[in-house]
Structure 1
Amino acid sequence: MNVIGQVTVLPQLPEAIGRLSELAYNLYWSWTPHAQALYRDLDAEIWERFQHNPVRVLLEVSQDRLEQAAADPDYLGRYTQVMADFDAYMGKKDTWASKNAAALGPVAYFSMEYGFHESLPIYSGGLGVLAGDHCKSASDLGLPFTAVGMLFHQGYFRQLFNKDGWQEEAYDELDLTTLPIKPALTAGGEEARVSVQIGHRDVHVRVWDLRVGRIRVLLLDANVPENEGEDRKLTARLYGGNQELRVQQYVLLGVAGIRALRALNVPAQVYHMNEGHAALLGLERVRELVETGLDFRTATETVASSTLFTTHTPVPAGNDAFGYDLMDRYLGRWPSLLHTSREELYALARHDQFWDGHWVPTFSMTVFALSMSRAANGVSELHGEVSRDMWKFLYEGAEAREVPIGHVTNGAHNLTFTSQPMRDLLGTVLPDDWTERLEDEEMWKAVEALSDAQLADVQLDMKREMIAFVRRRLREQLTRNGASAADVAGTDGVLSENALTIGFARRFATYKRATLLFRDKARLSRIVNDPERPVQFVFAGKAHPADNPGKAFIQEIYRVSQEPEFRGKIVILENYDMNVARHLVQGVDIWLNNPRRPLEASGTSGMKASFNGSPNFSILDGWWREGYDGTNGWPIGEEREYADLNTQDDADAFSMYQTLETQIVPLYYAPPQPDAEGRSGWRQVVRRAIQTVSPRFSMQRQVIDYVNQYYLPLTERGAALARNGSQRAREIAGWKSWVRQQWPHTSLQASAHLPATARPGERVEVQATVNPAGIKPEELRVEAVLKRGDHFTRVPLTPQGNGHYSAQVPLEDSGLYSVGVRMLPEIEGLSNDLEAGLIKWA
């Protein structure tokens, strides 16, 4: 036949189930298993083949099957209930935000990646899933919130293992017509387009609209006909290019992202940069204000006053820094646009680093993000401490503990990762509105009422589902690699539902030490092959395409899994994504995590496991340092630092084996000995894991913390500095310029009358003499600083006139004190004591 054309005939939804299309375009379904079941039950094979994508199911399913579903009373009943729940959710007026944060201004949240669901693969790992969860809880809480990101046409990558266990990468072009996104429309009904100059080229950007419950996400797409081929690739792959491509992508995210908000008239009063990738949004916001007549410094103060920066990594490689020559190619015209000099602009990002044998200034995205914000945070308590120490060089003369970087410990979106069977079980003891009160620790105490038998039944069902999933995945992998029929059939014996099952799934960065378990293989073999008390392990994770050491870790685990004594008992799955993650966190008995402390900023996978009743077995790093309470899981190693990495690895591996052998395995296999309430040892740890982790590490709690600690204060401060044509911002900018000019001419001398010994509570006199060099005395704080071990105390000195200051400083406790005197400039309205960046010690 001579083909003269092609046409696709799309199925039409019967009226009775007509709103399935509307629901498919709102990711509410991604955390609602009953909604997902409506699409899965239309055609399970299509559902699985296309990564559980409702839009694709509706495009592929037959018309006959739709008619059958519309005539099925059971299906119609479930459809009616799901849509009623959806309407109630979308129409809810008395949200947490309406009751607790009425003064909150609209928030614009920028992230390079988002992990919402496996059918939209624009994420690489934890950072993206965290951003996706943040959006979901912003919706749940009713925040005025809009997210901005990138639509990567080839995503991160699809991970394949070859027959030798080496990771290979495949890049699949997404068919945008089958994704739950629609073109973003302007007020005039036109598709939103913005452009940004990158180098000497104008790059055109299409904006897509993604609905996540009550909020929207704007996704930037450079793959449009107006662009040249290389520019169309700017939104091809996530983290797939060299430094030059990364800079171009960062310009696109920051500058085009702001322009997308403006093109769509999306209001924003608070701007949240999730990692340094989004730092260049500050350029565009300053340009907008300069264009209205503000000077560069006033505009910068105005912009920074309403901006929050979240840093996620204590690893230098995770903090991008670029040579000035590279930045000149892409930011070369920006100084003139901002009415400033190259030196002044680049000074906001300067980080001197040792490159090629000498020190050179670099443009650090993290330093620029810190300079362009007046609030910053790490993602766990320990990470906050590490970050303050890491960036203290920006505040010369300050103690690390004073550096203005706080912390909000990460959480995870409970409903995305808690299985439906566990949700149903929790619903038998928690109040009807429990999904709206996830952060309520008191509410979760009701989990104590769950019996051992109830927990055991649900967890066994989830374990069976996980094992079946693992076997299917292994069969697919073996078949693709040309394995024998016997090897493929052998997957039926992989893993046992009766064995203690431990899961490990992470990004395969080397500091996460995925192979630590194999440090003593003989001892591990005895643990795994104990005939009475067997233990089995399931691994998953991706290494960055350029990270060969990480790939070598994957290959090592694969090879161990093929050794006779470990075959079928240690498994590593390919293509780790949100689908794999859900199966593992819902099905394993224990979650293992063993990063090299203190390099794990937070971690969230273990939280998701505990939502499903799987206790954590982890290094006391990141979130687990805060989460572990002695009853809800187990620690690995000690909370200390090591000078030698090999010694640290030996110590942590020994602790891992020892705890497994003497505590975890005996408890798991111990015959039930119920207490008066019918609870036995293992299930009590399970209960405690659910009860303690679910509220404290819910994404709901995390977003509430962001609102109270950052979004609300930034709403207020940003409005105050922007009021009356940025009058207060202009005053602060002018004051900083004056003080910085005069600071080299100031002087400080001090003395103290210190006895050789003193008693607790005794006071000593400290005196200082200041030459303020024209700075007003009321704009200087002179203070004594006392250090005793880890204790740090600041005591203001009182002005005595003519530049003299003194104070009686109490020595409140016993110990060896160091006493110093310093001077800082301050005026009302600064965001923190160190904002001026000036400290002078006597």
Structure 2
Amino acid sequence: MVHFMGAKHRKIAYFSMEIGLKNEMPTYSGGLGILAGDTIKASADLGLPLVGVTLLNRRGYFMQELDEEGTQTEHPQEWSPADYMELLPAEVTVLIKGHDVKVQAWLYEHHSLTEEVVPVLFLDTDVEGNSLDDRKITDSLYGGDRSYRLKQEIVLGVGGVRMLDELGFKITKYHMNEGHSSLLGIELLRRNGMSVDKVKELCVFTTHTPIESGHDVFSHDVVAELIGENSDLETLKKYGGEHQLNMTLLGLNLSNYVNGVAKRHRQISEKMFPGYKFSSITNGVHSYTWVCQHFRDLYDTYLPGWANEPELLVRVRSIPDNEIWDAHKRAKKDLIDYANAECGVGMNYDTLTIGFARRFTEYKRPTLIFSDLDRLRKVNEAGNIQLIFAGKAHPRDIMGKVLIERIFEYIDELKGEIKIAFLENYNMELGLKMVSGVDIWLNNPKKPLEASGTSGMKAAHNGVVNFSVLDGWWLEGCVEGVTGYSIGPKPEVDKSPEQVEMIELDDLYNKLEYIMIPKYYCRKDEWISLMNNSIEMIAYYFNTHRMMHRYVTEAYL
């Protein structure tokens, strides 16, 4: 057995299919992975005894290439783990399709500004002695078919528990960040004499999606083929579903503490899984990571210690307004220069700039603002606007890809009237440019499909004004006209989905034309007050330091 330095002091194992820690390490696809990375970073800042467990993803998620029509092509994102991590000598095996598959681990150490360290284990099956197929299991994040996905989840859940054990970690809590790692519960049952009570005491489960398709489900035929042991199959049927294996259900049945990621999401989750009691811990973002350099410098000057104590951002009014505005102008210049260099759109620094960047999929409605072009033109006549988009569509999400192409059609249709850019290959670096460089952060998913959302929290950290439907975290963060603006009615309104969308569209255009544009162009002091409120009332609270304090006191202790 390899005894890992400091391992015996690590108590909480945090399992996530993806963990995004550095732009250069493509081990994430979007919100779930970035949240997991922010969790690791905040835990290090706070000196929490955490160890992360995830998959290596040797070929990344994908590099996005867009042609002149907006057609998306995906390319592997080859990278070298050895540039950032150390390959550990430990090796474990997991049983897949009746044979042993070897699993090794790469160690990445996240060093906090507080000089604390959180280790993250990246599991990898590209090991000598494995078959060619088995060596590819940890190649692609969310790639392949259902069989490939289940193989990955066996490696993550079962292989992860065994690797921690092999490295000498003493784990008192296993935190499953979404259902991908739920098979760890089966491994823990084996180790605890099949005592469900003992396993539930060890496990914490967080669900992140109110969408049916977001919950991994496998047919028992696929499960039987890959897992194969009768006793395991019966256990999986008992705790993961009689007719098919539902990984969320498995996590729910084997955890004493279960939570959604916003207050509203808790209610939705309890409707999706009747009979289960959910807590809620609203997501946050890692403040230091998601504040651009211009605002970091400002906060360092006026709010020393903010990086490790983001609640100090509540004192933002000690910073002169003109310095807040100057920092924003510099961040905006960085983004506009980048957009002009990439897209040749000739955007300018003084125009009200609206940003929309996230995973491109139908329920997020990226084209909503273009629903009525005549109304949009009228908005633009009230005061010029320019729009910047970014985001990847999953390789198999045909509609997501079509929506990117539609935005390129609108770029052509509105040429000479409204400047629009679509920036390709959305990643952490571009994300920071956007959440700090636009004036308005637009978010308009179909309700109630936003579990939490975190991009708006990042925008608020940089004084950017949120404009969003009342769903996810924004239900908790929005004070109308004070911290930003809502789009459409509250969730409990008794209207059809079609009626709700009409109200949302009216709200979207009207608030832009009659409230936000006049405020931005004619009453700058009121606009800067909105920016201050965003930092003072949103950023100080919606951060991963606050979030991890909640997990420690409610889930881990």
Q: TM-score range by the shorter chain?
A: over 0.9
Q: Does 1:471 align with 2:340?
A: yes
Aligned counterpart in structure 2 of residue 496 of structure 1, from 348, 351, 359: 348
Q: Does 1:632 align with 2:505?
A: no
| 3-state SS of paired residue (1:592) | strand
The Cα shift of 1:564 comes to: 4.4
Q: Does 1:200 align with 2:105?
A: no
1:575 alignment partner in structure 2: 425
Q: Does 1:110 align with 2:8?
A: no
User: 1:413-452 to 2 correspondence within 5 Å?
Assistant: 413-430=286-303, 432-438=304-310, 440=311, 443-452=312-321
CA deviations over 1:46-87 (Å, ceiling 9, x no partner): xxxxxxxxxxxxxxxxxxxxxxxxxxxxxxxxxxxxxxxxxx
The Cα shift of 1:566 comes to: 5.7
Q: Does 1:346 align with 2:219?
A: no
1:150 alignment partner in structure 2: 55
The Cα shift of 1:434 comes to: 2.4
The Cα shift of 1:449 comes to: 2.4
| 3-state SS of paired residue (1:453) | helix
Maintained 8 Å contact 1:126/1:604: yes
The Cα shift of 1:410 comes to: 0.3
2:87 alignment partner in structure 1: 183
Query: Aligned equivalents of 2:201 and 2:416: distance in 1?
Result: 57
Maintained 8 Å contact 1:525/1:565: no
2:215 alignment partner in structure 1: 319
The Cα shift of 1:642 comes to: 6.3
The Cα shift of 1:251 comes to: 0.5
Query: Aligned equivalents of 1:362 and 1:647: distance in 2?
Result: 36
The Cα shift of 1:670 comes to: 1.1
Query: Aligned equivalents of 1:106 and 1:445: distance in 2?
Result: 32
Query: Aligned equivalents of 1:571 and 1:519: distance in 2?
Result: 18
Maintained 8 Å contact 1:165/1:555: yes
Query: Aligned equivalents of 2:323 and 2:153: distance in 1?
Result: 50
One-letter code aligned to 2:165 = R
Query: Aligned equivalents of 1:286 and 1:334: distance in 2?
Result: 15
Q: Does 1:411 align with 2:284?
A: yes
| 3-state SS of paired residue (2:540) | helix
Q: Does 1:272 align with 2:163?
A: no
Query: Aligned equivalents of 1:345 and 1:151: distance in 2?
Result: 26
Q: Does 1:370 align with 2:370?
A: no
One-letter code aligned to 2:99 = R
Maintained 8 Å contact 1:135/1:147: yes
The Cα shift of 1:565 comes to: 3.5
2:4 alignment partner in structure 1: none
2:6 alignment partner in structure 1: none
Q: TM-score, normalised on structure 1?
A: 0.63
Displacement over 4 Å in runs of 4+: none
One-letter code aligned to 2:527 = W
* Gap change, CA 1:282 and 1:469, over 3 Å in 2: same
CA deviations over 1:384-438 (Å, ceiling 9, x no partner): 110011100xx3xxxxxxx4111100000010010121112123332x3222221
One-letter code aligned to 2:69 = D
Q: Does 1:123 align with 2:123?
A: no
The Cα shift of 1:317 comes to: 0.2
Maintained 8 Å contact 1:203/1:231: yes
1:667 alignment partner in structure 2: 519
Query: Aligned equivalents of 1:697 and 1:147: distance in 2?
Result: 22
One-letter code aligned to 1:210 = Y
| 3-state SS of paired residue (2:15) | strand
1:757 alignment partner in structure 2: none
| 3-state SS of paired residue (1:196) | strand
Maintained 8 Å contact 2:519/2:527: yes
CA deviations over 1:174-224 (Å, ceiling 9, x no partner): 2233x311112xxxxxx1111111112211111100001211000001112
Q: How many residues matched?
A: 542
Query: Aligned equivalents of 2:314 and 2:43: distance in 1?
Result: 25
Unaligned runs of 5+ in 1: 1-103, 185-190, 352-360, 396-402, 475-490, 673-679, 713-842
1:703 alignment partner in structure 2: 548
Q: Does 1:506 align with 2:358?
A: yes
One-letter code aligned to 2:185 = G
* Gap change, CA 1:566 and 1:542, over 3 Å in 2: farther
Maintained 8 Å contact 1:135/1:215: yes
The Cα shift of 1:321 comes to: 1.3
| 3-state SS of paired residue (2:307) | helix
| 3-state SS of paired residue (2:143) | coil
Query: Aligned equivalents of 1:265 and 1:140: distance in 2?
Result: 24
| 3-state SS of paired residue (1:132) | helix
User: 1:745-756 to 2 correspondence within 5 Å?
Assistant: none
Aligned counterpart in structure 2 of residue 379 of structure 1, from 261, 264, 268: 261
CA deviations over 1:703-753 (Å, ceiling 9, x no partner): 1111111111xxxxxxxxxxxxxxxxxxxxxxxxxxxxxxxxxxxxxxxxx
Maintained 8 Å contact 1:525/1:566: no
Maintained 8 Å contact 1:414/1:611: yes
Query: Aligned equivalents of 1:637 and 1:285: distance in 2?
Result: 46
The Cα shift of 1:559 comes to: 1.5
Give the structure, 1 or 2, with the largest relative contact order (CA under 8 Å, sep 6 or more).
Answer: 2
Maintained 8 Å contact 1:348/1:368: yes
| 3-state SS of paired residue (1:427) | helix
- Bigger Rg, which one: 1
Maintained 8 Å contact 1:322/1:363: yes
Query: Aligned equivalents of 1:515 and 1:325: distance in 2?
Result: 40
One-letter code aligned to 1:470 = A
Query: Aligned equivalents of 1:144 and 1:564: distance in 2?
Result: 53
Query: Aligned equivalents of 1:168 and 1:565: distance in 2?
Result: 25
User: 1:222-261 to 2 correspondence within 5 Å?
Assistant: 222-261=125-164
Maintained 8 Å contact 2:352/2:386: yes
| 3-state SS of paired residue (1:165) | coil
User: 1:550-629 to 2 correspondence within 5 Å?
Assistant: 550-565=400-415, 569-629=419-479
The Cα shift of 1:153 comes to: 0.8
| 3-state SS of paired residue (2:350) | coil
Q: Does 1:523 align with 2:375?
A: yes
Maintained 8 Å contact 2:26/2:77: no
| 3-state SS of paired residue (2:154) | helix
Query: Aligned equivalents of 1:329 and 1:136: distance in 2?
Result: 38
* Gap change, CA 1:519 and 1:428, over 3 Å in 2: same
Query: Aligned equivalents of 2:43 and 2:81: distance in 1?
Result: 26
Maintained 8 Å contact 1:192/1:264: yes
The Cα shift of 1:653 comes to: 1.4
| 3-state SS of paired residue (1:325) | helix
Query: Aligned equivalents of 1:106 and 1:457: distance in 2?
Result: 45
Query: Aligned equivalents of 1:331 and 1:225: distance in 2?
Result: 22
One-letter code aligned to 2:541 = R
CA deviations over 1:530-573 (Å, ceiling 9, x no partner): 3x721111111111110111111111111211224467711111
| 3-state SS of paired residue (1:464) | helix
